[in-house]
């Protein structure tokens, strides 16, 4: 059923509504600005656009993605934090911004993520996957661990930079497996993947979507999932936790509101997001993009932040990591 109507293409302004909108949709009085702090074409950008399209009918206003890249997403996060608490500005925040940056020694942040942002809902986790270059003869977790133990410092793992989720996953693997593997940081995921393909680095932990093209081309070999469960795209690929019990890396994305967002608007947005994410077409796009739905309540999100921050703080301390 057609539930809304926009006219006035020059301004994009909402002129009227039609019957069928939920009554609480009238909580919002104009278009919604959805801040994305990550470059177009990536997982976060795709997620924002899927959510913007799917939530527009639920909130009764047009949801517009506004991309503001830089500072690992904190430029966008700061805009959200300082926006009026009227529910018309929301933003996407990554696990690293909420759980890693606040406990990273030497890291200076423009906002206090605990007091300047209001948690609304966790949305998806991106499947973490361990891959090796095709030049690497070790294709299972036990084989990699055995080689690393017999040859300390010979295996290398790439990351998109110090303090990234790839770096943290590698350090967690080293800690739990009791091995010495050399970290090779790059400025972004693309050059890291290219060097792995070229044979200059052995392996990498990362978000499954960024590997799919090279896996399909035979340049990268999937070894195991670092995520808590398999993606339907690789149902037979084992979990690292089968060999290292408790190993789990979830690079998740959550939606936040501005500082001081009232509880009724938090609940309104949480309900709208839950409804949007449950749509079959949204679930299909998530699955095709390597995303795993983990949506819950604002309290669930707060608990996840506390648990993950503690977990990664311990890894950071043991590895002696510092911000660049």
- The per-residue pLDDT for 19 is 37
Is 172 part of a structural domain of the chain?
A: yes
Whether the predicted pLDDT of 130 surpasses 50: yes
Is 78 part of a structural domain of the chain?
A: yes
> Residue length, the chain?
324
Is 7 part of a structural domain of the chain?
A: no
Picking from 248, 270, 292, the residue at the C-terminal end of a domain is 248
Is 265 part of a structural domain of the chain?
A: yes
Is 234 part of a structural domain of the chain?
A: yes
Domain that holds residue 36: 30-125+250-318
What is the per-residue pLDDT across 309-323, written as a single tens digit (0 to 9) for each? 999 999 999 999 988
Is 21 part of a structural domain of the chain?
A: no
Q: Are residues 131 and 242 in the same domain?
A: yes
What is the per-residue pLDDT across 25-40, written as a single tens digit (0 to 9) for each? 457 999 999 999 988 8
Q: Are residues 267 and 223 in the same domain?
A: no
Q: Are residues 201 and 185 in the same domain?
A: yes
Picking from 213, 248, 283, the residue at the C-terminal end of a domain is 248
What is the per-residue pLDDT across 178-194, written as a single tens digit (0 to 9) for each? 999 999 999 888 899 99
Is 145 part of a structural domain of the chain?
A: yes
What is the per-residue pLDDT across 224-282, written as a single tens digit (0 to 9) for each? 999 999 999 999 999 999 999 999 999 999 999 999 999 999 999 999 999 999 999 99
Q: Are residues 119 and 256 in the same domain?
A: yes
The token duo for 255 is: 């939606």
Residue 207, domain CATH? 3.40.190.10
CA 38, CA 30: separation in Å to the nearest integer? 25
Cβ-in-10-Å burial (0-12, 13-18, 19+) of 92 comes to: buried
Strand partners, 67: 36
What is the per-residue pLDDT across 35-65, written as a single tens digit (0 to 9) for each? 999 888 888 999 999 999 999 999 999 999 9
Whether the predicted pLDDT of 17 surpasses 60: no
- The per-residue pLDDT for 163 is 82
- The per-residue pLDDT for 11 is 32
Picking from 197, 229, 248, the residue at the C-terminal end of a domain is 248
CA 142, CA 302: separation in Å to the nearest integer? 35
Q: Are residues 35 and 96 in the same domain?
A: yes
Q: Are residues 300 and 187 in the same domain?
A: no
Q: Are residues 78 and 142 in the same domain?
A: no
Section 197-206 average pLDDT: 96
Share of the chain above pLDDT 70, in %: 92
Number of domains in the chain: 2
Section 97-113 average pLDDT: 95
- The per-residue pLDDT for 26 is 53
Q: Are residues 184 and 283 in the same domain?
A: no
Q: Are residues 113 and 158 in the same domain?
A: no
- The per-residue pLDDT for 165 is 87
Maximum C-alpha span of the chain: 69
- The per-residue pLDDT for 43 is 86
Residue at token pair 């670092």: 226
Q: Which of these, 83, 86, 66, lies nearest to 117 by C-alpha position?
A: 83
Whether the predicted pLDDT of 14 surpasses 70: no
Q: Are residues 230 and 257 in the same domain?
A: no
SS (H, E, C) the chain: CCCEECCCCCCCCCCEECCCCCHHHHHCCCCEEEEECCCCCCHHHHHHHHHHHHHHHHHCCCEEEEECCCHHHHHHHHHHHCCCCCCCEEEEEEHHHHHHHHHCCCCCCCCCCCCCEEEEEEEEEEEEEEEEECCCCCCCHHHHHHHHHHCCCCCEEEECCCCCHHHHHHHHHHHHHCCCCEEEECCCHHHHHHHHHCCCCCEEEEEHHHHHHHHHCCCEEEEEECCCCCCCCCCCCCEHHHCCCCCCCEEEEEEEEECCCCHHHHHHHHHHHHHHHCCHHHHHHHHHCCEEECCCCHHHHHHHHHHHHHHHHHHHHHHCCCCC
CA 269, CA 273: separation in Å to the nearest integer? 6
- The per-residue pLDDT for 169 is 96
Could you give the angle at the alpha carbon of 42 between the alpha carbons of 111 and 65, nearest 5°?
Answer: 60
**b (16+ CB within 10 A) / e for 185-205:** bbeebeebbebbbeeebbbbb
Is 14 part of a structural domain of the chain?
A: no
Residue 100, domain CATH? 3.40.190.150
Q: Are residues 112 and 150 in the same domain?
A: no
Q: Are residues 241 and 255 in the same domain?
A: no
């Amino acid at each position: 059923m057609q539930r809304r109507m926009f006219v006035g293409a020059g301004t994009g302004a909402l002129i009227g509504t039609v019957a069928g909108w939920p009554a609480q949709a009238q909580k919002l009085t104009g278009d919604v600005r959805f801040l994305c702090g990550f470059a177009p074409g990536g997982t976060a950008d795709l997620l924002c656009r899927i959510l913007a399209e799917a939530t527009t009918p639920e909130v009764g206003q047009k949801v517009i993605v506004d991309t503001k890249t830089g500072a690992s997403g904190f430029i966008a996060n700061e805009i959200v934090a300082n926006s009026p608490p009227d529910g018309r500005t929301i933003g996407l925040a990554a696990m690293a911004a909420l759980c890693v940056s606040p406990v990273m020694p030497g890291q200076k942040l423009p906002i206090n993520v605990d007091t300047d942002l209001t948690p609304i809902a966790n949305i998806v986790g991106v499947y973490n996957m361990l891959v090796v270059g095709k030049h690497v003869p070790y294709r299972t977790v036990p084989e990699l661990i055995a080689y690393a133990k017999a040859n300390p410092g010979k295996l290398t793992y790439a990351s998109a930079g110090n303090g990234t989720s790839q770096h943290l996953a590698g350090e967690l693997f080293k800690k739990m497996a009791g091995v010495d593997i050399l970290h090779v940081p790059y400025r972004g995921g693309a050059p890291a993947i290219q060097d792995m393909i070229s044979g200059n680095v052995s392996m990498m932990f990362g978000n499954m979507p960024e590997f799919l093209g090279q896996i399909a081309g035979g340049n990268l070999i999937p070894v195991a999932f670092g995520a808590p469960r398999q993606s339907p795209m690789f149902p037979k690929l084992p979990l690292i936790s089968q060999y290292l019990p408790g190993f789990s890396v979830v690079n998740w994305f959550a939606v936040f509101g501005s500082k001081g967002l009232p509880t009724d608007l938090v609940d309104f947005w949480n309900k709208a997001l839950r409804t949007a994410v449950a749509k079959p077409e949204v679930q299909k796009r998530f699955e095709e993009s390597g995303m795993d739905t983990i949506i819950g309540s604002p309290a669930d999100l707060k608990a996840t932040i506390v648990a993950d921050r503690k977990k990664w703080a311990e890894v950071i301390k043991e590895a002696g990591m510092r911000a660049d």
